[in-house]
Amino acid sequence: MKITDAKVIVTCPGRNFVTLKIETDEGVTGVGDATVNGRELAVASYLNDHVIPLLIGRDPAMIEDTWQYLYRGAYWRRGPVTMAAIAAVDTALWDIKGKIAGLPVYQLLGGRSREGVTVYGHANADTVDGVLQEISRFVNLGYRAVRVQTGIPGIATTYGVSKDKLFYEPADAAIPTEAVWSTDRYLSHVPSVFARVREEFGPELKLLHDAHHRLTPIEAARLGKALEPYALTWLEDPVPAELQEGFRLIRQHTTTPIAVGEVFNTIWDCHQLISEQLIDYIRTTVVHAGGISHLRRIFDLAALYHVRSGSHGATDCSPVCMAAALQVDISIPNFGLQEYMRHTDATDTVFPHSYRFEDGYLHPSSEPGLGVDIDEGLAALYPYRPAALPVNRLEDHTMHNW
C-alpha cells in the first residue's frame, strides 16, 4: 500500500482551520489537524512545500518511521509549525490504519480504560454574578467540571471572557488587538470569585482556572495559596514554561494542582516538569504536540510521575484534533480531564464527526479510524481570513504575555 497524494485544506467556517488529507492507492484516506492559531498559512506552506513531496510513495502503515523521518530528517527540529505538520501526518496515518483494521483508533492503543472522557466547559462573564449564571448553564448541560474566568475590575478586557459564551475566538483581527493587563488587580480579585463560586455550588463541582501565562512564579505561588480553600482541580498556565525549573518555586508554596502545556510541542518541553513532579496535569494535545504517537509518548512519561493528562481542546483545535484526542483520552491509564470548547454549527458541518457529548462525558467515535472527515465542498465555501491572537501590555505599555 502506498500514499498517492496529500492535500492541505484551509477553511474558515467561523475561524481558520488547516487540515491535511492523505490519499492511498487503495482508496482509503486519512485526516489530520494542522491548525496553529494565527499562523495557519505557515503550517500550510511547511506541509505543501516540504512534507507532502516526501510522503508520496511511502507505506502509510509505517507511522513511527514516518514520524522519525519527518522529525529527524528536517535537521531543524521542534517548534510549533514543524510539529503541527508532523502531527497532521501522524494523525492521518492513524486514521488510515484504523480504517484498514476496521477498528476505532483507541482499540489500536489498547482499548477503553474508562466509560467516557470527562470534559470541562468554559464559564465566563464580565461579572461574578454573570459567571455564576454561566456555571449553572454548564451544570444543567451535565458538565462535571467547569473552567471559571471573569472580568477584572479596572481592566477593560481580559483573557477568557467572550461575547458568544459557548464559543470563544480570541483571534479577532488581522493585526493583533492590544489588551491591557494588571497582575495586581487580577491577584486581588480572583480569590473572591472562587469564594462566591464554592459558596453557590458546593464542594463537588470540579473548578479550574487559566492564568494564561501572565504571572511570575512567586505571584503564581501567592495565587495558588489564596485559592487553596476553594480546592481547584487545577490552576492552568500560571507562568510561561520556557524555564521549567521556575515551577519549583510554585510547588514549594502551594498545594493547588498545576496544569501546563497547551503551547508545548514535544516531550522535551515538559520532561523536567514531569520527571521532577513540578506539575499535576500535562495539557499537550494532538495537533500541537506531534500527533497521536508523540502525545502518547508524553503521557506515558507522565504516568511514571503521577502526572495526568489534561489536553487542550479550545475551538482552534479542529474537530479532527478533538476526534483524535478522544481516542487517546479513552485509552490511556493516566487520563485527567479534556478541555471541550464547542465549535460553531458551521465548523461542525464542515467536519462531520461521530464523537458525542452526554452527561458530562465526550464519547469517542467507534467507527473505524478516527470517525471524522472534512467536507471539501463545504470547506471551499469558507475562504481563509487573516486573524491573529491579541497582544498584551502592562498599564505602562510594557509588552507582556497574552
The residues of the shown chain that bind Co ion, judged by CB under 5 A, are 210, 262
Cα–Cα distances in Å, from 331 out to 62, 107, 124, 151? 21, 8, 31, 37
Catalytic residue among 46, 106, 120, 159: 159
Using CB under 6 A as the binding criterion, the count of chain residues that bind ligand EZ4 stands at: 10
DSSP strands (E only) in 295-350: 308-309, 338-339
Report, in angstroms and rounded to the nearest whole number, the Rg of the chain calculated over CA atoms: 20
Q: How many other CB atoms sit within 10 Å of the CB of residue 402?
A: 18
> Among Co ion, ligand EZ4, none, what binds residue 314 when CB lies within 5 to 8 Å by partner kind?
ligand EZ4
Q: Which is nearer to Co ion, 288 or 296 (CB)?
A: 288
Q: CA 339, 344, 350, 353: dihedral to nearest 10 degrees?
A: 40
By CB under 6 A, the residues from 169 to 198 that bind ligand EZ4 are: 170
The answer to whether 120 is a known catalytic residue is no
Residue 260 carries which side chain, given as an amino acid letter?
V
Cβ-contact 94, 63 below 8 angstroms: yes
Draw the binding track, 324-343, toward ligand EZ4 (x: CB under 6 A; -: no contact): ---------------x----
When CB distances are held under 5 to 8 angstroms depending on the partner's kind, the choice from Co ion, ligand EZ4, none that residue 98 binds is none
| CB 72, min distance to ligand EZ4, A | 28
Residue 95 lies near ligand EZ4 (rule: CB under 6 A): no
- Is 265 a binding residue for ligand EZ4 by CB under 6 A? The answer is no
**260 backbone dihedrals φ, ψ, rounded to 5°:** -160, 160
Q: CB under 6 A: which stretch of 8-16, 308-316, 369-377, 380-388 binds ligand EZ4? A: 308-316
Q: Tell the smallest beta-carbon distance from residue 339 to ligand EZ4 (Å).
A: 6
User: From the CB of residue 229, how many other CB atoms can be counted at a distance below 10 Å?
Assistant: 11
Binding residues for ligand EZ4 restricted to 197-226, rule: CB under 6 A: 210, 212
C-alpha cell at 209: 482556572
- Complex with Co ion: residue 279 or 350, whichever CB lies closer: 279
Choosing from 122, 189, 212, 312, which is the catalytic residue?
212
159 flagged as catalytic: yes
Q: Does 316 bind ligand EZ4 (CB under 6 A)?
A: yes
Residue type, 323: A
Among Co ion, ligand EZ4, none, residue 224 binds (CB under 5-8 Å by kind): none
Angle at 283 between CA 282 and CA 288, to 5 degrees: 125
In 3-state terms the chain splits into helix, strand, coil percentages (rounded to 5) of 40, 20, 45
Asked whether the beta carbons of 20 and 32 are under 8 A apart, the reply is: yes
Which of 104/336 has CB closer to ligand EZ4?
A: 336
> Residue 131 has which C-alpha cell?
459567571
What residues are annotated to the active site?
159, 212
> Where do contacts with ligand EZ4 occur on this chain (CB under 6 A)?
37, 170, 210, 212, 262, 312, 314, 316, 339, 389
